[in-house]
Structure 1
Amino acid sequence: MSETTGESVWITGAGSGIGRAVALRFLRAGATVLASGRDPDPLQTLAADAGVAPESVAVHAVDVTDRAAVHQAVADMQVRAGPVDRVILNAGTYQPVEADSFDAAAFDRQFAVNVGGVVNCLEAIVPAMRARGAGQIALVGSLSGYRGLRRASAYGASKAAVMRIAESLRQDQAAAGIDVRLVSPGFVRTPLTDRNDFEMPFLVEAEDAAERIYRGLVHGRGFEIAFPRRLAWPVRLASMLPYGLYFSMMRRVTG
């Protein structure tokens, strides 16, 4: 028996990348996974890939930017699996913003998914957890949310917003018995980071990221799960530098 045997875990963006790897990790630990994503096809193979019974996975095809659809999906989940014990709000998107082609649409899309999608999911699930007086919610941010990076003006800003939401919710919901966590990955090999055309320092495989997230949520007590440490600590330190020193350092680092 595992610590998560019998639990129901809702994971958004479970069709690929970090979300899929986390879903597989919780399935192998005995949890029932409520897997959601825009495309239901990749979700259909989760149980087989994890080597568990098909009934261990409930597939919900939903776009997190559609508020009404999110509410309906959460209602369906609770009918199917009862109270949701853990929520991992992982659905996100990434598009670089180039200096010579500033694109407002890139901001619209990334904020709609990365921030609006999180808010829609929270609105749907928080009342039920408050009524029960229990539950865990993990918001997946990014180390890029700590400070502005080249080509990440949209993505980094959206993840900075996720960080602030998590920090506030941690305080607002603690008295109701809801454990709010923040997940701050560095570079993880996923279809999204495959879009990068530069060498990514301390690149982590999705399975490694999933293991770190699982251990942090199930066994850890701290607010933030940031990894890899070799990147997380320098990024945190950089966030405390005065602007002149920070910009000078980034010019040297990025060329």
Structure 2
Amino acid sequence: MNNQKILVAGLGSTGISILRYLDHIGASQVAAYDEQLTAERQAELATLFPLFPALSGSLKTALADRTTLILSPGISRRQPEIREFEQRGGVVTGDVAILADLLRHQRDQIIAITGSNGKTTTTSLVGHLCQQSGLDTVVAGNIGTPVLDAWLQRQGKSADVWVLELSSFQLETTPCLAAAAAACLNISEDHLNRYDDLLDYARTKDQIFNGCRTQILNADDPFCRAMHRP
């Protein structure tokens, strides 16, 4: 990423974790963006990341000279400004996709869990079982710790398994997770202000299985059954 002109959009906990990662790897052509930034927040960002300018206002203007956009989950990839950016050749990605690429090089295994309900409980349980089995285990994602913060905390040390709770928002920018195992627990009406309909929402959840070796599906849920891949 060192040769790319990067914009990190959305400066909540995930966006800040992305900036920490980019600072760690020495990326220099990075800007941070949020639609609104108070003077206090601007000063805080300048202290944390003095080499990364903080932008606000028009996303289209912020993207004008960028080649890569790293989206926080709270920002929809379907915004007109982002679609226009992609149409002119811009790359859109997210923190989970960056982690997946890092873990492929480290040969760490991923167990990924999504669903409308129960994913935090299931992720916690799977993480506990892995730990009790003696595996060096990292639990991260939508459950609390942003995935790149979890990676930085390990200081480059590989783990046996990463157990990730992933929302549909995170999966929008994760084209190929390549998990050792992935599960979709259920699909129910949720986030329909962001998706066209329930089927559109389910298709986004289905991205968790791209490159996956083992699928775990809820056979009682028709949307989950439809995700089966031979």
* TM-score bucket (shorter structure): 0.3 to 0.5
Greater share of helix: 1
TM-score (norm 1): 0.41
